[in-house]
Amino acid sequence: MWRREKSLAEHDGRELPELLLRTLSQLDGASLILAPGEIPVYANDEAENLGVLKDGRIQSEELLASIRVVRRTNLKQTGTVEIARGPIGEGKREITVNVIPLSEDNLVLVLLRDESEAQRVHEVRRDFVANISHELKTPIGALSLLSEAVLGAKDDSEAVTKFASRMQIEAKRLTDLVQEIIQLSRVQDSDPLQEAQSLSVNDLLKEALDQCRTTADSRKIALTFAEGADCRVLGDREQLTMAVHNLIENAVNYSPPDTQVSVSTSIDQNIVTVSVADQGIGIADAEIERIFERFYRVDPARSRETGGTGLGLSIVKHIISKHGGEISVWSSENVGSTFSIRLPIQSIKEDEA
């Protein structure tokens, strides 16, 4: 294996300049120095970790090609190369390379930087924008068709009433969608712990339960709260209420009538767990990983029917992670689901501790 100590290996009987090695050791990312024949005379650990170098040989044909160009022209080359993530599978890393001729001794310096994470973030953003446009088109398209239908049926008051009430539904869907997109981007940009308030968990839960009671009643779902010992958490009241609200609302929306949705808490040392359990349709194992993704819905038709946007759980996940907590889910199809939020406790109420 190529080791850092070997970086001081002699090249043609001469050591590499100390200043060059010291400079390279201060740089972020991977670096290599190659002697003619592309023999590495210096390589830091990152170069090996990236998979660019193995058993003392450069692994990428693309990179070797650009090194040859530098040797021929004596001019710096910049570009990107793809390196396999491992010996199996198709996963690749995108790596930015700078190949620089070092005029002394025909040495070539290669600087590499893994851009996969930046690339991934860029792709997530691009997909998000594409998804938003797609999601907005549906209600906007429906509104435009319905308004034409209203105009076409202006002498038929019954038809006008029918189309107008469908317009109201689509307008509400549009408003909800825009509101959730705004909420998600606010949550992503905020740091709730920077101007955190001290909040009673029981108060937060009661507020969220109150907000969901009307929908639960209309769907004949019994909402229960097993109020246990209270504790306080640090954070943003509106955001935490919204997180619990979204979980309760989903539990209600994805459950048949005459079932129960129960909210409970448990305290273990300095962590409080808030659980929202339902007796609803459940989520298949294959889907469970994906439900926190933006706009992901197991059954788009059902989600649309209940006015879902596919953003609710990704908002919850962001809120909880910004509060230093985590969310998990247990679910079994046609049995029910339990979503659990774990948050760090600020303090336990003295009279109940």
Residues that bind ligand ADP (CB under 6 A): 246, 250-251, 254, 278, 280-283, 291, 296-299, 303, 308-314, 337
In the complex with ligand ADP, the residue whose CB is nearer, 53 or 261, is: 261
In the complex with ligand ADP, the residue whose CB is nearer, 32 or 248, is: 248
Task: Give the position of tokens 């989520």.
Answer: 283
Supply the minimum distance, in Å, between the C-beta of residue 300 and ligand ADP: 7
Rounded Cα–Cα distance for residues 75 and 85 (Å): 29
Q: Which residues contact 49 (CB under 8 A, 6 or more apart)?
A: 30
Please, what is the end-to-end C-alpha distance for the chain in angstroms? 57
Supply the minimum distance, in Å, between the C-beta of residue 179 and ligand ADP: 12
In the complex with ligand ADP, the residue whose CB is nearer, 50 or 209, is: 209
Supply the minimum distance, in Å, between the C-beta of residue 295 and ligand ADP: 8
Supply the minimum distance, in Å, between the C-beta of residue 204 and ligand ADP: 19
Q: Are 234 and 196 in contact (CB under 8 A)?
A: yes
Supply the minimum distance, in Å, between the C-beta of residue 221 and ligand ADP: 11
CA 333 to chain centre: 25
Supply the minimum distance, in Å, between the C-beta of residue 33 and ligand ADP: 50
* Polymer length in residues for the chain: 353
In the complex with ligand ADP, the residue whose CB is nearer, 235 or 310, is: 310
The phi and psi torsions of 82 (rounded to 5 degrees) equal -105, 135
Supply the minimum distance, in Å, between the C-beta of residue 291 and ligand ADP: 4
In the complex with ligand ADP, the residue whose CB is nearer, 31 or 250, is: 250
Supply the minimum distance, in Å, between the C-beta of residue 246 and ligand ADP: 6
In the complex with ligand ADP, the residue whose CB is nearer, 183 or 303, is: 303
Rounded Cα–Cα distance for residues 291 and 120 (Å): 19
Q: Are 192 and 324 in contact (CB under 8 A)?
A: no
Supply the minimum distance, in Å, between the C-beta of residue 281 and ligand ADP: 5
In the complex with ligand ADP, the residue whose CB is nearer, 68 or 304, is: 304
In the complex with ligand ADP, the residue whose CB is nearer, 113 or 297, is: 297
In the complex with ligand ADP, the residue whose CB is nearer, 2 or 254, is: 254
Spatial strand order in the sheet of 92-102: 39-43, 30-35, 107-114, 92-102, 77-84
